[in-house]
Structure 1
Amino acid sequence: MNRVLIVSDSHGLTEELMEIKLRHACTYMFHCGDSELEFDAKELEGFTSVGGNCDFDSRYPEEFVTDIGDLSFFIAHGHLHNVKMNSMTISYRAAELDAKIICFGHTHIAGAEKINDQLFINPGSIRLPRGRTEKTYAVMQWDNVNDIEVLFYTLDGKLVEDMTYHTDLADK
């Protein structure tokens, strides 16, 4: 089973990032920006990280694309794509790069949603959540593109069951 840990908007938290990494031990880990840490901070070791509007280390890329199995991921913070307004700009950018999974932050609002043939995942914030009281991050897992599951966890590792999201990204 493929598993990806997705975190965003940790805004200076360090011990918490280390705990989350150890708790899930995923092969792939994305930080969608606003860590407020140096690019090479030990807490970010193992994460593919992008820069957010509160990250001032110029070594962070603005966006990142990678393939895991049959899926292509686009990782961005979202502030440069106006995600607080709508998902259109980030959707177009991901499509330009042939990415089907879009991982982003910036809004601090956790959620997963399939729109057309793209899956949008915002893990929320482990420091300053909006829309819900839980401080959250996400784990996406799948064996094949016909059965993708996105699980949301609280900062202390409890599953937020009512946020679990299942989808199928297989071409129809």
Structure 2
Amino acid sequence: MRIIVVSDTHGNYPLAVRAIDRAGLADHVIHLGDVVDDAVLMEHALGSPVIKVAGNCDLTSTAPKELCMSFARRNILITHGHRHNVKSGLSQLQLEARSAQSHVVLYGHTHVASIDERDGILFVNPGCFAEACSAKSFAILTITGNDIAAEIVPVE
């Protein structure tokens, strides 16, 4: 299973759509918030659904603030991250992930791409697409059997 993960598009959804098109086939696309309305526009451009959660800039959005989903028998916690203070570290998010029995946590908010493993849980931040971000990127999560891998893909 191949999942493309984006976050913090902040209105720059055309670049996200171009990057996803270039990345090739994916089973799912996930948008981690800021600006979640971009995810709706991406759905129209891509012609397929985008799984989405609201971020701290999505105050009027009806999108969920967090999702726990299972893909290929792997539990994935999907969140923007601001509610778990990720700019101050991953400790709070790690507790939530453990409580939710997650194998993977997808989060954004910091605008800094990263892949970390803590206590057997994979934490993936795809980075951002905002014009103000100097390093634009997204992530690809691959689940094959019992293996889970993530990579950060730079854009531009």
The TM-score with structure 1 as length reference comes to 0.79
How much is the aligned-residue C-alpha RMSD, in angstroms? 1.8
Partner in structure 1 of residue 150 of structure 2: 150
Counterpart of 1:7 in structure 2 is 6
The answer to whether 1:84 aligns with 2:87 is: yes
Alignment of 1:19-38 (within 5 A): 19-23=18-22, 24-35=24-35, 37=37
Q: Where does structure 1 differ by over 6 angstroms across 4 or more consecutive aligned residues?
A: none
* Aligned equivalents of 2:15, 2:49: Cα separation in 1: 15
Once the two structures are TM-superposed, the CA of residue 42 in structure 1 deviates from its matched residue by: 2.9
Q: CA deviation at 1:38?
A: 6.3
Aligned to 1:102: 105
* Cα distance change on mapping 1:59 and 1:87 into 2, 3 Å: same
Distance in 2, matches of 1:38 and 1:117, equals: 32
Structure 1: distance between partners of 2:91 and 2:15: 32
Asked if structure 2 preserves the Cα contact closer than 8 Å seen for 1:36 and 1:56, the reply is: no
| Structure with more helix by fraction | 2
In 1, Cα distance between equivalents of 2:85 and 2:112: 14
What is the distance in 2 between the residues matched to 1:38 and 1:122? Answer: 18
1 CA distance for matches of 2:68 and 2:92? 16
Letter of the 2:109 counterpart: H
Pair 1:54 & 2:53 matched: no
Q: How many residues align?
A: 150
Equivalents in 2 of 1:38, 1:144: separation in Å? Answer: 32
Residue 53 of structure 1, CA deviation: 0.7
CA displacement at 1:79 relative to structure 2: 0.5
Gaps of at least 5 residues in structure 2 are none
Partner SS, residue 10 of structure 1: coil
Amino acid at match of 1:83: V
Is residue 2:128 matched to residue 1:125? yes
The answer to whether the Cα contact below 8 Å between 2:72 and 2:143 also exists between their aligned partners in 1 is no
Identity %: 27
Q: Secondary structure at the match of 1:91?
A: helix
Which blocks of at least 5 consecutive residues in structure 1 are unaligned? 157-172
- SS of corresponding position for 1:37: helix
